[in-house]
Amino acid sequence: MNAPAVSDQKTYWVQVFNENTWREFLDFGGRVTGFRQTRWRYIQQVKMGDVLLCYMSRHSKWVGILEVDSAPYLDLTPIWKEDLFPCRAEVKVIAALPIGDAIPIRVFKDQLSIFHAKNWSLYFINSPSKWKREDAVIVEAAILRASGSSSSPSPDVRP
């Protein structure tokens, strides 16, 4: 049997939450995530098995990992109070950290390529956004360790 093509490997994305949207996502069951209508073009690129690394704005911390469990779809069912976020996908929570245990982005200042940019925070303006595999593996492993998860990064990921 041939090894899977690179295009068959999961893609890593960053999803930006604020404290309220993260709490509301979890309170709704942590099974559906959403994005603004303007991001529909990007969410259509998200595939089942892809990973969403969850970043909390204003706190500048990593709070979780989600695995995409469906194709993207549009839904107007209210979940969040601040916006509709109608571009959705079903997800499975792999790890969810309490805000107090979330990992500050600056912990990775010597490890992530984004810190080579003067304005690294611009990487967190839009959500979802593709994330470099090399950076994603570092963040994914740290979140899994912090959550005490017995999971490890997927075998198709080689740090």
Tell me the pTM: 0.87
Go through the domains of the chain in sequence order and give each one's CATH number. 10-147 (3.10.590.10)
Give how far the C-alpha of residue 149 lies from the chain's centroid of Cα atoms, to the nearest Å.
Answer: 17
pLDDT digit string (tens) for the chain, length 159 residues? 444 444 458 899 999 999 999 999 999 999 999 999 999 999 999 999 999 999 999 999 999 999 999 999 999 999 999 999 999 999 999 999 999 999 999 999 999 998 888 788 878 888 999 999 999 999 999 999 999 865 544 433 322
Q: Which residues contact 38 (CB under 8 A, 6 or more apart)?
A: none
Structure tokens at 88: 């959705």
CA-to-CA distance for 89 and 100, rounded, in angstroms? 27
- From 90, 88, 93, select the one nearest 39 (Cα to Cα): 88
